[in-house]
Amino acid sequence: MTERTRRFPTQARAASTVEAILDATFQLLEETGFETLTTNHIAARAGVSIGTLYQYFADKNDILAAMAQQRAEKVRDSIAAMLIEQPNLGSVRPIVRALMNGFEGSPGTRHALLGALFSKGDEVLYRHHELFLAAIAGKAQLDIELTPERAFILTHAAVSLLRASAAEQDLALDPEALEDELVRLMEAYLAALRTA
């Protein structure tokens, strides 16, 4: 048996264990919220020992950050694919919807995940911004010139507003109305760019 063959099951098991931990964390966040979430509860729900959990994650915030990063990557990749496949979308609604639905769950869950994503600072958004631009470079044929300033506004405006809406849960913003307003904002900016 080759070394590669011996390692693969271990890697697959490790990936399966990590996914079980992430799934258990999401379930517990939805059921009981962030305040009562503990690594012991997560390990029990995932069906792993607490020692196994600590082999992969330092604490519950580390788990939340991994969950948030995973979701952010999926959103980023799906939006890049949209722009590459259909560079001149009739509306930005699919992009706004992808951003809004990328962090599924209750408002409390979204707040916990977005908080964890940005817990190491706002450079997280910068890294995703750079990776997004690299993913579409030379592949997406957009109908506007995407200068660094315009790309900054387009990638940061909606994300920053969604982050604020998750943090300000007392406002009880209606998700459908918020989506409509974000679409209006982004489409007005794009329309202004097209006539500039």
> pLDDT value at position 5?
37
Could you tell me the fold of the domain covering 1-57?
Arc Repressor Mutant, subunit A (1.10.10)
Contacts of 133 (CB under 8 A, 6+ apart): 146, 151
> pLDDT value at position 87?
62
Task: Give CB contacts under 8 A, 24+ apart, made by 104-110.
Answer: 104/71, 105/26, 105/29, 105/30, 106/29, 106/30, 107/166, 107/169, 108/29, 108/33, 108/34, 108/169, 109/26, 109/29, 109/30, 109/34, 110/166
* 59 within 8 A of 39, measured Cβ to Cβ: yes
Structural element, H or E, at residue 74? helix 60-85
> pLDDT value at position 1?
42
CA end-to-end span of the chain: 64
Does the predicted model carry a pTM greater than 0.85? no
* 154 within 8 A of 129, measured Cβ to Cβ: no
pLDDT per residue of the chain (196 residues) written in tens, 0 to 9: 444 333 333 688 888 999 999 999 999 999 999 999 999 999 999 999 999 999 999 999 999 999 999 999 999 999 999 888 876 666 789 999 998 888 888 888 988 988 888 887 778 888 888 888 898 888 888 888 888 898 889 888 888 898 888 888 888 889 899 999 999 999 999 999 988 7
Closest-CA residue to 142 (of 158, 154, 128, 130): 154
* Spans of all domains in the chain: 1-57, 67-195
Q: Tell the residue number behind the tokens 């900016």, with chain if given.
A: 189
